[in-house]
Structure 1
Amino acid sequence: MGTILIKNATIVNEGKSFQGDLLIEDDRISDISESISVKSSDTKVIDADGMFLIPGMIDDQVHFREPGLTHKATIATESKAAASGGITSFIEMPNTVPQATTIELLEDKFNIAAETSWVNYSFMFGGTNNNLEEILKVDKNKVAGLKLFLGSSTGNMLVDNPKTLEEIFSKTDLLISVHCEDESTIKANTEKYIAEYGEDIPIELHPIIRSEEACYLSSSKAIELAKKTGARLHVFHLSTEKETHLFDNKKPLAEKKITAEVCIHHLWFTDEDYKTKGTKIKWNPAVKTQKDKDGLWKALNDDRIDVIATDHAPHTLEEKDNVYTKAPSGGPLVQHALEALFEMSFKDRITVEKIVEKTAHNPAILFQIEDRGFIRKGYKADLVLVDPNAPWTVTKDNIAYKCGWSPFEGSTFKARVVYTFVNGAIAYDNGKYPAENRGERLTFTR
């Protein structure tokens, strides 16, 4: 631990951008001013002229595959990749092996992260059709929330018993995050195309199988149930324009009972990209049309959608290189998410201030994370320096994921994450990782 002075940065925070200096002492931000003088020879000084200084991204949905699926990824490898992409905190999902559906299994994951994570962490507890008793034991101040799969995805955690769902929504005080796709619709569509094509269904039919109808039907039912029971609901990875109209912007985020998230891949790709990317962009929910992408951007910017996340979910290339019915859904994204968003800012899709709001401020507010997500005196020094004029191309040689590939391979970004600070330490510095395992367990003020 020590003192770091960042000078001449364009500081982006709470809707404003201004030129200034920032002082880090130990693990916290101790001063923010137009000009701060060096007070000690031990102070590390970083000249950030021309760079953006932003709060680190808080990614509220990742799959780091540990325990049980470590041939794809580990908490160590993926949190390191996250640090290189400016993500300073993550919330990981429960569909590992074994699934995190008991308090004991959940704590096992926390213990792994305490030893190996490069960035800050929390985990979702997994709900099933038969673990309500365990759900009610979870301390909402120690765990990010509850994850329910209302459509089957990676791992067998489908919660499809209506009575169980209503009981969970009625009885838990946890924030409930949901994956919404209607299983019966998907099953019928899949059977239809298997009858026509066999197992080798054209990948272009993925958004037809996992359709707008499947998404909307499930999302609308979850929202109806949340309104009926008063549950605190967060709908993950919206993928359709139609779903955006289920949400509103009438209240400040802190007062909303029902919130929504969109992921990088649904903001970047469209169904036209299946021709060149194939199963590498096979996600659940599916990447859909240009109309859907445009609708998601509109809802994001007018605050019907509250958070941007990655749904980082790596698989090996060998696994991905299968016929449609056997190729798993998901892809790696944490290393490139912020840079992709900055690329969109250059195209006037979103402002840098809005990027900061949706990736840092809003996750902190929504999950009530203590002392993170903002550039404020006394807050934890989870920060990122981004150079907006440092073009680079994603290649296999510079990919940090254990799986060794990215859906962005071949893309050139104008902006680059240069430094990432986690709890006041430099976790990433121009391709180097000087501060091993600096992540802390997130705490909540609920």
Structure 2
Amino acid sequence: MLFREATLADGRVRDVRVDGEEIAAVGADLDAAAGDDVVDCAGKHLLPGAVDVHVHFRQPGYGHKEDWGTGSRSAAAGGVTTVVDQPNTSPPTVDGAAFDEKESYADASLVDYGINGGVTADWDPSSLFARPLFALGEVFLADSTGDMGIDADLFADAVARAADADVPVTVHAEDADLFDDSVKPGGSSGGDGGDNGDGNDGGRTDADAWSAYRTAEAEAAAVKRAVQVGADADVALHIAHTSTPEGVDAAAAGGATCEVTPHHLFLSRDDLPALGTFGRMNPPLRSEERREAVLERLRDGTVDVVATDHAPHTREEKDAGIWEAPSGVPGVETMLPLLLSAVRDGDLTLERVRDVTAANPAAIFGLPRKGRVAAGRDADLVVVDLDAAREIRGDDLHSKCGWTPFEGFDGVFPELTVVRGHVAYDARGDDETFGDAVGENVRR
């Protein structure tokens, strides 16, 4: 395969030759080999495939929401060529047997993948660390509302064991002790609570209640605690889905890396009246001022990674009260298109998008063959036309859940996605097509 006259993220126009599963050469006027599929990229960009280090493909246990087939097709259609699946499935990925079960489902993946191991009160570290873990996480620090919630002592023990095993730790940092219980129905008085006018004394049921309950202060405090524990253990600590400028700054000050999500970059509490419970996620949406401040930290380099926390639920599950609806939104297919639309609008540089979606996550999580368009790297490549933005519609996406919080936003979607030299997604003709399930565990 030869990509002809492709514009790279740094503006250079180059040919890129693929031999088998890796990039063989990057240069000018490269000759095509006999039988090469020549891809004309004149006027288009060739990017490294995105590495989404935070997805929930839901299997085992919740295949009605998503499965490895639908999730990986959605990833490929969005230019994501590697994903890292989180452990809060059923059973949770907390021991070797659960790891092996999840990997059997991942055989259906069109994209490469890593599998995170998790921590619960009854986790088996000896069994878990015997598997080819991508990372130890997602560890919920002091978050009693999560299925993977652990207390501070267990968190410290898990971090110490991760340091001994030389694996990074991914942390969901929210301190449940700082949630505002007065907002909940039946909660204590004070805070943002009070009678909301419908007889629900001491609680709120509006769409913004979840954001009021899971306070910004809860995130910043938990990040500070987590980075201190990580520093004491001398472990590589990564803060998941940081939603506040205070959280981003605390991670950077403590020597940890951090990710932000597209929904925290492009949505705020101002969008909740329209989104309703479809805008409920953990951490929740923040104020418009905090959203803008997080986006600025993405621009200036303080944010290391953009990852989706792709967490699909069915429409029926989300169409419930604010206290009953499950948390989470889909996003693996729309991350890169949204960021590329921001490039098109002049809000981000293409090099910055390349770094936070590919180069940085590959470097942070030890994937030397991923994240760059360079000879010797895996041929994980995405062809995009920045002049071909289109409206995002849930009906056009490929996640099993069939909806998106970004309905009506503009996105620049890939024309072609290649995973280790295999065509995973092709929208160059009249009909889009998907490739075979060639995804591999990147730790093997």
TM-score (norm 1): 0.91
* Structure 1 partner of 2:111: 119
Match of 1:216 in 2: 220
On the 8 A contact 2:116/2:133 being kept in 1, the answer is: no
Residues 1:118 and 1:155: Cα distance change in structure 2 (over 3 Å)? farther
Show structure 2 runs of 5+ residues with no match. Answer: none
Question: Are the counterparts in 2 of residues 119 and 422 from structure 1 also a CA contact under 8 Å?
Answer: yes
Q: Equivalent residue for 2:423? A: 426
From the superposition, tell whether residues 210 and 351 of structure 1 become closer, same or farther in structure 2 (CA, over 3 Å). same
Asked whether the 8 Å contact 2:385–2:414 carries over to 1, the reply is yes
Cα distance, 1:154 vs. partner? 8.0
- Aligned match of 1:21: 15
Unaligned runs of 5+ in 1: 250-255
Match of 2:299 among 298, 301, 312: 301
Counterpart of 1:181 in structure 2 is 174
Single out whichever of 166-175 and 307-316 deviates more from structure 2: 166-175
Q: 1:163 is matched with which residue: 153, 160, 176?
A: 153
Q: Give the SS at the match of 2:264.
A: helix
Give 3-state SS (helix, strand or coil) of 1:330's partner.
coil
Counterpart of 2:384, as a letter, is V
Task: From 72, 79, 99, give the equivalent of 2:72.
Answer: 79
* Offset at residue 155 of structure 1 (A): 5.2
2:289 is aligned, of 285, 288, 291, to 291
1:147 aligned to 138, 159, 168, which one?
138
| Alpha-carbon distance in 2 for matches of 1:428, 1:391 | 18
Distance 1:207 1:200, change over 3 A: closer
Determine the C-alpha separation between the residues in 2 that align with 1:67 and 1:180: 25
Q: Does 1:227 align with 2:231?
A: yes
Task: Say whether the 8 Å CA contact 2:207–2:276 is kept in structure 1.
Answer: yes
Cα distance in structure 2, aligned partners of 1:153 and 1:372:
35
Relative to structure 1, is the Cα distance of residues 129 and 351 closer, same or farther in structure 2, using a 3 angstrom cutoff? same
SS in 1 for 2:376: coil
Does residue 6 of structure 2 align to residue 9 of structure 1?
A: yes
Secondary structure of the corresponding residue to residue 243 of structure 2: coil
Range that drifts further, 208-217 or 196-205: 196-205
Q: Tell me, in whole angstroms, the C-alpha distance in 2 between the residues paired with 1:374 and 1:410.
A: 31
Aligned to 1:253: none
Q: Give aligned pairs, total.
A: 427
**1:416 to 1:154, Cα distance in 2 relative to 1, 3 A:** farther
1:416 is displaced (CA, Å) by 2.4
CA distance in structure 1 between the partners assigned to 2:366 and 2:422 by the alignment: 23
**Displacement, 1:214?**
1.1
Separation of aligned partners in 1, 2:127 and 2:109: 28
Counterpart check, 1:241 vs 2:245: yes
Aligned to 2:85: 92
Query: For the Cα contact (< 8 Å) 2:313–2:329, is it kept in 1?
Result: yes
In 2, Cα distance between equivalents of 1:242 and 1:143: 28
CA offset at residue 20 of structure 1? 1.2
> How is 1:16-415 mapped onto 2 (pairs within 5 angstroms)?
16-40=10-34, 42-113=35-106, 115-131=107-123, 133-134=124-125, 137-139=128-130, 142-152=133-143, 156-160=147-151, 162-173=152-163, 174-186=167-179, 188-189=181-182, 190=184, 191-192=187-188, 196-197=195-196, 198=200, 201-248=205-252, 258-413=256-411, 415=412
The 1:394–1:304 alpha-carbon spacing in structure 2 relative to 1, beyond 3 Å, is: closer
Q: Which amino acid aligns with 2:113?
A: Y
Which residue type is aligned with residue 146 of structure 1?
G
Per-residue CA deviation, residues 224-264 of structure 1 (Å, 9 max, x unaligned), is: 21122222211001111222221338xxxxxx952111111
- AA in 2 matched with 1:417: P
Letter in 2 for 1:229: A
Q: Is the CA contact (8 Å cut-off) linking 1:372 and 1:382 kept in structure 2? A: yes
State TM-score, norm by structure 2.
0.91
In percent, how many aligned pairs have the same letter?
30
Structure 2 residue identity aligned to 1:380: D
Give the Å deviation of 1:182. Answer: 1.1
Deviation per CA, 1:378-435: give whole Å up to 9, x if none.
111001001111132222431211011111222233x221100001011100052342
SS at structure 1 position matched to 2:149:
coil
